[in-house]
Amino acid sequence: MNNNYLEEERYIKAQKKVKEIKGFYWHLFWYLAVNIFILAMIYKNLDANESLFEYGHFTTPFFWGIGLFFHWIGVFGRNIVFSKDWEDRKVKEFMDKDKFE
């Protein structure tokens, strides 16, 4: 019975992580879709002597991008490259490699 409880606990935790990742990717999708649309509309309505590369044109992508970055950190963690899992995999890899030499 205890084993079933632990399995269900692991399943619920994994399901929550998948929902968080899915939420991040939807956030990224809408970030790209909306900002491409906004920049396309700005480009379409530019005056002859106006440049697309002005500060005001990129405020939405910039500030929304900051929010997207923090969402990414919240979902994937700060140590995505050198996480504890990465360290454990590398230690195991070197131990396995050493075993065959």
Q: pTM value?
A: 0.69
Q: Identify the three-state secondary structure at position 89.
A: helix
Write the CA distances from 57 to 11, 25, 44, 52, 68, integer angstroms. Answer: 45, 24, 12, 7, 18
Encode the chain (101 residues) as per-residue pLDDT tens digits.
577 878 888 889 889 989 999 999 999 999 999 999 999 998 888 888 878 777 778 899 999 999 999 999 988 887 666 667 777 777 888 877 776 65
Total domains in the fold of the chain: 1
Range of the domain at 24: 2-99
